[in-house]
Structures are given as C-alpha cells and as structure tokens.
Amino acid sequence: MSSSLTISTGDASRLGANVRPDGINFALFSAHASKVTLCLFSADGQTETARLDLPARTGDIWHGFVSGLRPGQLYGYRVDGPFAPHQGHRFNYHKLLIDPYARELFGTIIQHDAIFAYDLSHPDKDLSVDTRDSAPYIPKCVARESITPPAFNKPSTSWENTIIYEAHVKGFTQGNSQVAPDARGKFSGLKSPAVINYLQELGVSAIELLPIQSFFSEPRLIELGLTNYWGYNPFNYFTVHQDYGDADEFKAVVQALHAAGIEVIMDVVYNHTAESDERGPTLSYRGIDNASYYALQENKRFYVNHTGTGNTLNTAHPEVLALTIKSLHYWAEEMGVDGFRFDLASTLARGDDGFDHRSDFLVACENDPILSKCKLIAEPWDIGPGGYVLGQFPKGWRGWNDRFRDSVRSFWRGDAMAHKELAARLLGSADIFDHSDKSAHSSLNFITSHDGFTLNDLVSYQHKHNHANGENNRDGHNHNLSDNMGVEGPSDDVKINNARLQRKKNLLASLLLSQGTPMLLAGDEFGQSQNGNNNSYCQDNDITWLNW
C-alpha cells in the first residue's frame, strides 16, 4: 500500500465525508478512541489504497482534509483505542468500520467470522481479540456531493383525512404482473402506473413502508438459509437498503407518489442496531465508540436490552441523539418523506427512571422546525421495565393502539362482555388519549399489521403456524384473538367461507368507521394469506409476497 496523498487538519464543522471543490473533509465522532485512521479504497472496493490518520481532534470530533479526492471516493475507518469490554470499550484496529454519516454504500456485508471483533472459536468468546482484516466483507462508504434539498410538493394531508396503508417494498410488487419485471420488488415498482392507480382507487392517503434503511440479516438466520425480510435490523441510518435500489430511485418514488396525492411514511428503527449484543459483529458504532453509542449495563461488558434484539442505542448521548435527528432531517428534506413510524418508540423516550415524556428525543422532535411538521407515529412499547406507554406520547404524536386491535377482534369473535371495551375503542379511545389537549385522531387504529396474522388468517386460523421460521413454532404471539370458524386453514365449505368473508367485512368496517386514524395492512383488502404464519419477519418468499 502506497500513496502520495497528504492529509491536513480540515475541520469538525460537519460529520461525515464532505466533498469540496479541492478535496474531501472527513470528520468522525469518538470520545474514547486513541487514533482514527481513514482508509481509502479503489473504485471496485477491493484494494485498500491508502491509510491516513486523522490529524486533528476538536472536542470528540476527529477530522482531516485530503486534497485532490473526488466525489465517489470509497472509504472506511479503522479506530484504535482500549480493548476493555468490562469498561465498555471494544476497539479493534483490524476491523473496517462504516461511517455513521455515510450517505451511500458500495457493496454489502458478507457474513464471515472476520466481521466479529473477537475470535468465535476462543473459549473466552467476546473477551478475546480477532486480528483478521474485515475489509473484504464490509461495504465501503461513498463520498457524495452535498445537494440543495429539492422543493417537494407534499400533499400535506390532515390527520382527520389520513388513511395509512402499511406495505413492504419488495412484498408489495414482487408478485404483481402489471409491474415491469425489472421493477418488481424494487423502489421503482412503487411508482409504476399500476401501483399508483391502485392506491388511488383504494382511497388511501399515505403508504407506510417497512424499514428501507440499510439492514443486515442476523447470522442465525443466514445459517438457516433465511433473511431478515422485514428489515428491523439497521446498520446505517442515512443509506437505503441496496436490494431495493438507490437513493435517487427512492426519491423518484416519493415524488411520484406525491404527484398522485399520496404521502410516504417511513418505518424507522432507532432503538437498536444490527451489531446485536456482545456476541454480535463489529460493523460501525461498536468499533467507533461502543461506550457512547450503546446503553450499557453496570457491568459494561453487557448491553441494556430494552428492545429484545441484543442492544439499545443510547439516544440519551448528545452525539447519538444528533445522529438520529440529522438522519431524520435527511429523509424529510432530501428525500421528501412526510412522516415516520418509530419502532419500539418507548426506548427512544427513556430517561433515568423509565419513560419520560420530556426526554431529550421527544423535546428535540417537538422543537425541531422540520420534524415538528412531519407525521410522527409511535409504537408505544418496548420490553423494558415500564415500557408499555400507550397514550403517553406528547400531543402531535399518534400511537399504535393495540387495545383497539384486541378489542375489535374480541368483539367480533363473540367474546363475553367485549362490547363494553368496544364502545370506548370506536369512540377514539378517549380513556387513553383524551388528555394534554390531544385530538380524536391521536389513536392510530389497526386490526392487523405486519406483526401478526393477516386479516384473512385472523378468521382462518386458531393457532399460529410458524414452522418455516426454524424455531419449532416457538416464535410469534400465542394470544391472537383469532377464530378459524370451524376449520383450521383454507376450507371448501361455502358456509364457512361466507362467514369468514362477513367477519372480515365487519372488522374492516369497525376500523374505518371508528374515531382515530386508520391503518390498513397491504393485501388485507383482497384476502392475502401467510398460511397462518404470524411472525413472517424472515420469509422472503411466497408466504409474504402479495398474491395479486
């Protein structure tokens, strides 16, 4: 490796790789590092062409300027510092790290033992050190030119006129013969005339997309020959999942949907990352500054796990909060997104004593000139202590109302005394949301979502059938309030099928006629089935692709 490049001080004014007329400025946050090295790569991402130590540190921002570099330059970081897991530090200079502020990635993560900072075969597990270079298996960051955010002509639909349609980018169009073959399952499929006309005829005002930010499948799933299909396992918050297309294609989708009067809401996952617990891979944040990016237990070797995924992003840290807010700005301003649904939102709003409705994150959203104008939706729970906080998010937020879901299911199943609960749910769940000057639309009502049975399966299966997930049917909820109406699964009995159809109509009518903001799961309108699988997060196949 040889290079004639030189690096100067640069500045700390903006994190990430910032292209200038005469070169590129690089800036990276790390409070506990002893050295940060910029690694440059050839255009094919295969050869590391230069290593340059960032020469300056302003506060906790390491920075440097390399003259002569052009837009499109591939890069990554190696960060040195103490390897002291019991103190929360897991630096490993042998691992190439993704810039948290990268706007584009080249290549994908390749499952290999080298992406772990410890030796998987060592008896000490995560207390050991792996010295293999992970660069061949890690995507490279791409230095992109900054752009002036375009002027989006957003529909700005009022909440009282909002009907949300929850869909998966791939699953929505993969099986649609009216979409061009090369666009099926991609961003571009969402802007095809057949799709836009369908959404308009259906009468929905917004499409809520399951995660599209870069995500990675858990090693366990890869070993089973499965993938994290839903995408709730992010490793970068500024880049799109490459299987769907690139950022420009996503922006074109947003513009096409806006032109049709349809808003775009992103399902975002700022509660955890794909690096998982102490046994997970080192891709970015863990290797840059583990003790800052993650919430750690008293024994700092281990991670706080309010999310059930292995780690919890530490949004209480100012730099982590800033990363969250700036990435939301990127999607809202540069991509034109109209709103966000926050997965396990309780985690983002935790303080020292549990949920805090005046947490730094919630206050930042409330006071932010961009985010305060976006549609903000909370999944108001996590698995940590006091994590269920339905109705407690601030005015302006909408909350996924699982009590509406359960009450309506229970009533139409014929459960005793269910009508008492139903009355409150049909009237906007005022017992939950009628405080702090909240509107009647604060309750986001749904019967089904990506998480659980489809509407058709709700009236066709008494029990979950998740054997395809590789966990011997142990995963997924057991309490579904479902009713197979006499036969488990598909039936040839006309009476049963007619009864099921009527039940589905009753459920949808209850949803659409209730006070609150309704959300419809894609495919429910035409009887989509997942064969009784109520936890299809790892099924990238006919189980989840809509059967048009």
Name the 3-class secondary structure at 516. Answer: coil
| Helices 247-259, 193-202: inter-axial angle, 10-degree rounding | 40
- The full 3-state SS of 246-269, as one line of letters, equals CHHHHHHHHHHHHHCCCEEEEEEC
For residue 491 the two structure tokens come to 């039936």
The rounded distance, in Å, linking the Cα atoms of 357 and 361 is 9
**DSSP-based three-state secondary structure for 389:** coil
Helix/strand/coil percent split, the chain, to 5: 30, 20, 55
On the 0-12 / 13-18 / 19+ scale of CB atoms within 10 A, 193 is: exposed
The CA distance from 51 to 5, in Å, is 9
Residues whose CB falls within 8 Å of the CB of residue 386, separated by 6 or more in sequence, listed in order: 354, 355
Strand partners, 206: 164, 263
Rounded to whole angstroms, how far apart are CA atoms 548 and 541? 14
Which of 130, 334, 379, 382 does the annotation list as catalytic? Answer: 379
SS3 463: coil
- In 351-417, where does DSSP find H-type helix? 360-367, 402-413
Asked whether the CA dihedral 224, 226, 230, 232 is positive or negative, the reply is positive
Q: Catalytic residue at 243? A: no
Annotated catalytic residue, options 343, 457, 483, 540: 343
Check if 249 is active-site. Answer: no
Instruction: Catalogue the active-site residues.
Output: 343, 379
